[in-house]
Homo-oligomer: A and B are copies of this chain.
Amino acid sequence: MPSNHSKILVESIKRLIRRDAIFNLKKIVKKTHAADLSIAFRMLSIDHQHKLFGMIDDIEKKGILFSELDKDIFLNLIEGLEIDDIVEIVEHMPSDDVADLIDKMPKETSNTILGKMKKEGSEEVADLLSYPNDTAGGIMVPDFIALKENTTAKKAIESLQEEFHDVEMPFYLYAIDEYGKLVGVCSLRQLVVVPQETPLKNFMTTEVLSVQTDVDQEEVAKIVARYDILAVPVVNETNKLVGIVTVDDVIDIFREEATEDILKMAGVGEEFIETQSVLRNTKIRFPWLFASCIGGIFAFFIIGRFEAHLIKHAYLAAFIPVIMGMGGNIGTQSSTIVVRGLATGRFIIRDTWTVVTKELTTGTILGLIYGSIIGCVAQWQYDTITFAISVGFAVLSSMSIAALLGSLVPMAFAKIHIDPAVATGPFVTTAIDIISVFCYFKIATTFLNI
């Protein structure tokens, strides 16, 4: 559904609720995908949300809606629902989605729900919850098809109809040995095209890509993307198959990680805040601005130290913006390249030396070019060659230092396992502002020999 359709959907829903047109509402709810309903829910009052929710007949659809809702909306919604109804819905959901929901709920609610769930289901969920959220273990589904390697194609197909009829995404069948260890994989397609009496081990691929439960979710996603596969099996430390991560989750991981990185670089938290209240929005954005404020006050004191010179040479002030701007912008360029390069695996920490040298060279070349341009402007306006040279030199040093810091800092943060995206925003920008201003005044006062 193209995104402007959601407004039309919301408007129809509101109109029908006003008219109390139950029959038509039910028809809309029935034919709208849960993913689209979840977007409509963002724009509906809590009362209307409940009204609409009550009209969903299909319990599995209620479950999909639960998974698709934004956290705040989900928590508000379930507050008005009976615990037994919630339990019934989650019992019809895949256990990885249940684990995600449980994770969002207040401890008390989640304990009640887990307590009321059937034992098998709640154990699966508890298992998943025992892995950190952002690892293969935390995102895998325990629903997969595992068969002994000597099972025939025919038997395997029969098991799809019986034992595994509720496995969600059965693209691959995994072959395991007598200890449950992963030994091979074959596709559903291979299964139907081989002679029906062939055992799996005769046509399965034995070079199976797999990940251990503790592998970071981004790494898992990269594997799925690189090898164009639909699911990657997850094994424990003894190579026993415990779950799979499917491609639909991989898409979500990539989108989330990209959004997170972009927001962090701009200092606006990790999660999308536009749907949150103005107050919350303000609170999340406060800290980064605080860092920048402290940096600005620092720059103020630096300039204050040069006030005596400023009184004599007021025109010094006029070049502050361009020197800060050039340094800040090239610093942002360098750090963006490094942060995104690290995120997409374009380069790794061991490349630090190469990357930083290259950035510094680029920064120096660009600094020479822009230093000359801005120096010429200074010469043209003030006709003092020493001042013109000092302005040009300040631009050069600001830009080359900015390119150096902009590339080195995220690399260094990555090395000590601090997310480079977080660091890049406040840290680099503020540091570059201060250094640029300091260099400028130091160089200018030295050159002017005052």
Contacts and interface: CB of A to CB of B under 8 A. Distances in A.
Interface residues of A, number: 115
As for how many copies of this chain the complex holds, the number is 2
Interface of A is mostly: helix
Contact of A275 (B261, B325, B346, B350): B346
B328 A328 contact: yes
Interface stretch (A16-24, A78-86, A291-299): A291-299
B365 A288 contact: no
B251 A230 contact: no
B165 A340 contact: no
Interface string A333-363: 1001100110011111110000100100110
A250 B207 CA distance: 26
Contact of A336 (B31, B262, B346): B262
Given A258-B254, A310-B314, A274 B321 contact: no
A333 B283 CA distance: 13
A297 B377 contact: yes
A214 interface: no
A33 interface: yes
Interface stretch (A1-9, A52-60, A136-144): A1-9
Interface pairs A-B: 10 shortest CB-CB: A296-B322, A317-B317, A258-B258, A266-B336, A299-B321, A310-B314, A303-B318, A228-B248, A3-B345, A311-B314
Interface of A: 1-4, 6-7, 31, 33, 35-36, 157, 160-161, 165, 170-171, 188-189, 191-193, 207, 219, 222-228, 230, 247-248, 250-252, 254-255, 258-259, 261-263, 265-268, 272-275, 278, 281-282, 285-286, 288-289, 292-293, 295-297, 299-300, 303-304, 307, 310-311, 314-326, 328-330, 332-333, 336-337, 340-341, 344-350, 355, 358, 361-362, 365-366, 369-370, 373-374, 377, 381, 429-430, 433, 437
